[in-house]
Amino acid sequence: MGFVNAIKGGSKQLAINLTTDRVVKYVQKSPEKNFQKVIRALAMMATHFGNTEPFDRFMGWLEANPGSKQWFINLMQKDRAQVANVIKLLFGNCSLKWIEKSERLQAKYGFTAPYSILISPTMRCNLNCKGCYAENYKRDADLSVEDLDNIITQGKELGTYLYTILGGEPFVRFNDLYRLATKHSDCLFQVFTNGTLITEKVANQIAELKNFIIVFSVNGDKNEVDFMRGPGVYERVIQSIEFLNQRNLMFGMSLVLTSRNYDLMTSEAFYKTWENRGVMYAWNFLFMPVVKNPDLSLMPSAEQRVTYGEYIKTYREKHPLFIMDFWADAPAVHGCIAGGRRYLHINHKGDVEPCIFAHFATHNIKQHSLLEALKSPFFTAIRQHQPHTDNLLRPCMIIDNPQILRDVCKRHNARPTAEEAKDLIENPRITAHLDAYAKEVAKVVDVVWKNKYQQNIAEMLERKRSYPEGTDRLSYRMDKTGFMQDLERYEQEDSSLARNILVEAEDAYEQYERDGDIHMKLEEDSSPPKNEQQDLPVYESGTNATAF
Ligand code: SF4
């Protein structure tokens, strides 16, 4: 059956499979020469999916600059079966099915399925890195295989097909993960690792799976890695990378920006080194003061955040390494994605947390379903307060708007899920620092937002909400009639959820009015200063490579 017939026959997944197999096979013959034709084929495939915005953006990004074009060509030279399978899963289940199932959820409850569910199956680890608390955990504190299977089964019913696995060190449970990835071959698994437990045998098993992508947590160069993690660790990571390269597998890395490694993280030589080792993409995080007795001076300054965001944007335009930073690139995903809006985290005890860095919960997956956790007043409150400010460049309820996390945790009796979590909202040394930090970030970043992100501001004003679906603080403030109509629909399904949505939206609105100077009013920013309008570098929406 051909692509068009498959679509007509109603089997979009089959159409994706057929097109992907052909495209990958074709492009691998001559990636440079066939690039344009492949872009057209993928764009055509995307037109059959209803909401094509994420795909259009991805295509736009691929075509827009030399770095992303070369990135795609490099991707196509990786293991054919793995590349084809990952594309099928990303286009098919992780996007198309996610959209279809989310539309049903959204119509009933006002939220979509999480795009990705993060799971920490264990907190055990084979290393003992400085500042890490994983050594305190025992095997019996792990999530069981049955628990993990249950989470994924429920997630798929809701519409989630992308599972991000962290820890602890996930590879201490590789056998269990291998079984789960085999059983749930319709899901994509992205596994963050310290990179020291990948042997030749494990690399062979990863190559077999085709739905298992490794992300190496790399916090610097050899000196930094060995200093933080122990002597010899860096060489061991390089060895693991070599095992994956020998099998031509794709993989990524994750980085943490601190005030201390800023120079390294803005150096071309650093990224080039990893790019040359075969890294395809990098997820970047800011240092978060969520460990015990955190060194607050490690938080990057407001200026560092701005210049770092500009640096990675330029880098990915020119080089074949896709770098994404969850703060500087937050406008691409409409701000904070916590509370199930696009993701949530389930820790090794089963606690359902709104964000990997916010260690608070009201629900546990051993007693509640995923849907119940998503409908909970705690998660509803977080979603209704999004966007936490009208400036999507300071999206975070932990470090940019710390009063929001404190408030929702207190009002909903969210319990700390880790010993040190309480400090984040109660320890005066930390709360005072975060308040001052957030103010400083606002001072610097609001100017950038006003001057350079007019397109995003205009889009939010036109949409009257921060993101295309569901209700949020902006929809309550800017389109109350539409908000109330949505609410009537939700009420028919679940009146207590509808009531919570209203209460939380009202609360968010009141907070917004009360602390207006922190939140930055969108209406006032709708037209850019005249003298700066011509050369404004509009936010490159093509960087949104996923359907997040
Ligand atoms: S709370 Fe902060 S770190 Fe968590 S998803 Fe939102 S912006 Fe990201």
Tens of pLDDT, residue by residue over 519-530, are: 777 765 455 444
For residue 303, give the amino acid letter. E
Angle at 387 between CA 439 and CA 91, to 5 degrees: 130
Whole-number Å distance between alpha carbons of 547 and 525:
27
The mean predicted confidence, pLDDT, of the chain is 87
- Ligand 1 neighbourhood includes 302 CB (under 6 angstroms): no
Beta strand 352-353 pairing with 343-346: antiparallel
Instruction: Determine whether the shortest distance from the Cβ of 520 to ligand 1 is under 6 A.
Output: no
Check residues 206 and 29 and name the one with the higher pLDDT. Answer: 206
Average pLDDT over residues 358-370: 98
Question: Mean per-residue pLDDT for 25-54?
Answer: 72
Q: Is pLDDT of 531 > 70?
A: no
Choose the residue to mutate in 288, 305, 344, 357 for probing ligand 1, maximizing ligand atoms within 8 Å of C-beta. 357
pLDDT winner (highest mean) among 134-138, 219-223, 508-512: 508-512
Ligand 1 centroid, distance to 33 Cα (angstroms): 41
What pLDDT does 50 receive?
61
For residue 59, give the nearest of 91, 22, 93 by alpha carbon: 91
pLDDT band at 133 (very low <50, low <70, confident <90, very high): low
| pLDDT for res 61 | 77
How far is 286 from 374, CA to CA, in rounded Å? 26
Report which protein residue has its CA nearest ligand 1's atom 6.
336
Beta bridge partners of 281: 252, 322
d(CA 237, CA 129): 14
Peptide bond into 167 cis (omega under 30): no
In sequence order, what E strands does 388-488 have?
415-416
In this prediction, residue 30 has a pLDDT band, given cuts at 50, 70 and 90, of: confident
pLDDT at 532 > cutoff 60: no
Phi, psi of 45 (to 5 degrees): -60, -40
Alpha-carbon gap, residue 143 to 365, rounded angstroms: 10
Query: Which atom of ligand 1 lies closest to the CA of 285?
Result: 3
Q: CB count, 10 Å around CB of 146? A: 8
Tokens of 444: 């610097």
Output the pLDDT for position 175.
97
Short-list 413, 291, 289, 288, CA closest to 361: 413
Q: What is the pLDDT of residues 290-310, one digit of tens each?
A: 988 899 999 999 999 999 999
Query: Using one digit for the tens of pLDDT, what is the confidence trace for 387-427?
Result: 999 999 999 999 999 999 999 999 999 999 998 899 999 99
**Range from 67-81, 282-296, 339-353, 518-532 carrying the lowest mean pLDDT:** 518-532
Please give the radius of gyration of the chain, using alpha carbons only, rounded to the nearest integer: 22
Helix/strand/coil for 89: helix
Per-residue pLDDT, 4: 41
- pLDDT surpassing 80 at residue 8: no
> CB neighbours (10 Å) of residue 301?
16
Give the mean model confidence (pLDDT) for residues 343-365: 97
Reported confidence tier of residue 538, pLDDT bands at 50, 70, 90: very low
pLDDT at 139: 66
- Condensed to tens digits (0 to 9), the pLDDT of residues 224-269 reads 888 888 889 999 999 999 999 999 999 999 999 999 999 999 999 9
Q: Which atom of ligand 1 is nearest to the CA of 399?
A: 2
Indicate the DSSP class of residue 524.
Answer: G
Contacts of 517 (CB under 8 A, 6+ apart): none
For residue 9, report the distance from its CA to the centre of ligand 1, in Å.
41
Pairing of strands 360-361, 415-416: antiparallel
Residue 522 per-residue DSSP state = T
pLDDT of 459-500, one tens digit each?
888 888 888 878 898 999 999 999 999 999 999 999 999 999
398 in contact with ligand 1, CB cutoff 6 A: yes
Closest approach atom of ligand 1 to CA 338: 5
Q: Quote the tokens at residue 144.
A: 């069981």
Residue 136 has pLDDT above 90, yes or no: no
| First-residue to last-residue Cα distance in the chain | 31
Residue predicted with more confidence, 468 or 319:
319
Omega prior to 31 cis, within 30 of 0: no
How far apart (Å, rounded) are the C-alpha atoms in residues 480 and 210? 47
Task: Report which of residues 491 and 218 the model is more confident about.
Answer: 491
The residue nearest atom 4 of ligand 1, judged by CA position, is 355
Q: Count the Cβ atoms, other than its own, within 10 Å of residue 398.
A: 24
Which tokens is 401 given? 């708007």
Global pTM? 0.91
Respond yes or no on whether the N-terminal peptide bond of residue 168 is cis (omega within 30° of 0): yes
Adjacent-strand bridge partners of 191: 165, 214
Contact between 152 and 184 (Cβ < 8 Å): yes
Give the list of residues 6+ apart from residue 303 with CB closer than 8 angstroms, or none: 444
Most confident of 84-93, 97-106, 151-160: 151-160
Of ligand 1's atoms, which has the minimum distance to the CA of residue 400? Answer: 2
502 lines ligand 1 (CB under 6 A): no
Identify the residue whose tokens are 């449970």. 173
